[in-house]
Amino acid sequence: MTGRKVSSSLAGAVRLGSGCLGAAALALVLLATGAARSGGAAQAQTMAATAATIQRGPETGLPLPRYVSLKSGEGRARRGPNRSHRVDWVFTRRDMPLRVTAEFEHWRLIEDQEGQGGWMHHSLLSGVRTALVLNDMTVMRRQPTPESTEVALLERGVVARILGCEGDWCRLRVDNWRGWVPRQAIWGVDPGEELN
């Protein structure tokens, strides 16, 4: 092993109060991205029907749900979409990946990897795609194959920048380290989602 161990603090959100957030979960819509390239008429029709059902945010027109990241070192998640609502969570990790599930004016309903969250002002969020490492000692590899050279070992909870995803692998950057990890070892990208 010529790589390096990369670690990070697991602290990312602080629960305030004892109330539970009762936001309804939205169903994920997955697209089979390879259907149009395969030339099958039935697959192309299925993709067209699926594309017509993609839910879009009323404020931005962007797909829902979608992933974003925390722009600053602190973001408050509230029970409702304005500052008069109680703060339930304070997210304290810059670049932490979050999923947007709804929009209302300048507010986004977000959740973290554990499903915790609330309404956060859009100015605290960034479109930069990041990922949270789910498994302890996840191997980062030079190429997207299990036989490739190890670059680093990533501890559970490390936040990395997503450089791209192809098939079952995503290319990440953590500090000065770049490499590939299996898609199922991270949270912040949907199954089958291709990123360039």
pLDDT tens digits, one per residue of 155-190: 999 999 999 999 999 999 999 999 999 999 999 999
Query: Does 41-126 match 130-187 in CATH topology?
Result: yes
Q: Is the confidence at residue 2, as pLDDT, over 80?
A: no
Q: Tell me which residue has tokens 């953590």.
A: 174
Average pLDDT, the chain: 82
Residue 32: band (very low, low, confident or very high) from pLDDT cuts 50, 70, 90: very low
pLDDT at 192: 86
The three-class DSSP label of residue 119 is strand
Residue 28: band (very low, low, confident or very high) from pLDDT cuts 50, 70, 90: very low
Q: How far apart are alpha carbons 90 and 100 in whole angstroms?
A: 16
Summarize pLDDT for 119-144 with one digit per residue, the tens. Answer: 999 999 999 999 999 999 999 999 99
Q: How far apart are alpha carbons 102 and 2 in whole angstroms?
A: 44
Q: Both tokens of residue 126?
A: 């960034």
Domain 41-126 part of CATH 2.30.30.40: yes
CB atoms within 10 A of CB 17: 10
Quick check: 124 and 71 in contact, CB under 8 A? yes
Side-chain-side CA neighbours of residue 67 (13 Å): 20
Q: What residue segments make up the domains of the chain, in order of their start?
A: 41-126, 130-187
pLDDT at 39: 45
Q: Both tokens of residue 56?
A: 């879009």
Residue 53: band (very low, low, confident or very high) from pLDDT cuts 50, 70, 90: confident
The answer to pTM > 0.85 is no
Q: Is the confidence at residue 19, as pLDDT, over 60?
A: no
Mean pLDDT of the region 64-89 = 97
Fold classification of 130-187 is SH3 type barrels. (2.30.30)
